[in-house]
């Protein structure tokens, strides 16, 4: 069993239970420190390639409240925080249905508020989504 000296890179060294000694350059350190040095510089993990990343890539599964056929007004809602490309954070709300998180756009809550004001006994609603990206439109329908 040979041990590489982190200073002179020779193998003429010994790792004792409590210390590491290099017979070549007389470098001495504790076994703990020696292992730390090895972790930092010794075993560099193989770098992932673009190919590795591409093969492992899974598009983020963002479910939307509009993906549901009908939604109960009693479903729990939670706050989430996301990161934009410029590293600034933004908050959004998700409805938890059968353990899955469905994003609830602010405009849906705004419309649902009006529905509940005019129809306080509304139990179920449905969200219809039209368009994509910046021009996405949500229509909330009381069921």
93: contact with Zn ion by CB under 5 A? no
- Give the residue with the Cβ less far from Zn ion, 9 or 110: 9
Taking the complex as a whole, the smallest distance from the CB of residue 27 to Zn ion amounts, in Å, to 4
Using the rule CB under 5 A, which residue among 8, 38, 97, 116 binds Zn ion? 8
Classified as helix, coil or strand, 81 is strand
- Give the residue with the Cβ less far from Zn ion, 25 or 109: 25
How far does Cα 142 stand from its chain's mean position? 34
- Give the residue with the Cβ less far from Zn ion, 15 or 115: 15
Using the rule CB under 5 A, which residue among 14, 16, 25, 82 binds Zn ion? 25
What one-character DSSP code corresponds to residue 40? I
**CA atoms of 125 and 104, how far apart (whole Å):** 13
27: contact with Zn ion by CB under 5 A? yes
Please give the helix or strand (H or E) that residue 124 lies within, else none: strand 124-130
- Give the residue with the Cβ less far from Zn ion, 13 or 102: 13
Classified as helix, coil or strand, 108 is helix
Q: Which residues pair with 93 in a beta bridge?
A: 79, 104
Which residues bind to Zn ion, rule: CB under 5 A? 5, 7-8, 22, 24-25, 27
């Amino acid at each position: 069993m040979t041990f590489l000296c982190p200073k002179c890179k020779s193998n003429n060294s010994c790792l004792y239970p409590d210390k590491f000694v290099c017979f070549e350059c007389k470098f001495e350190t504790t076994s703990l420190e020696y292992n730390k040095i090895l972790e930092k510089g010794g075993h560099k993990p193989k770098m992932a390639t673009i190919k590795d990343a591409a093969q492992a890539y899974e598009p983020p599964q963002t479910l939307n409240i509009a993906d549901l056929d009908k939604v109960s007004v009693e479903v729990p809602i939670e706050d989430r925080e996301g990161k934009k490309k410029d590293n600034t954070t933004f908050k959004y709300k998700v409805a938890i249905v059968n353990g899955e998180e469905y994003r609830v756009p602010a405009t849906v809550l705004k419309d649902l508020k009006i529905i509940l004001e005019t129809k306080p006994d509304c139990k179920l609603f449905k969200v219809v989504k039209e368009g994509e990206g910046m021009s996405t439109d949500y229509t909330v329908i009381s069921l």
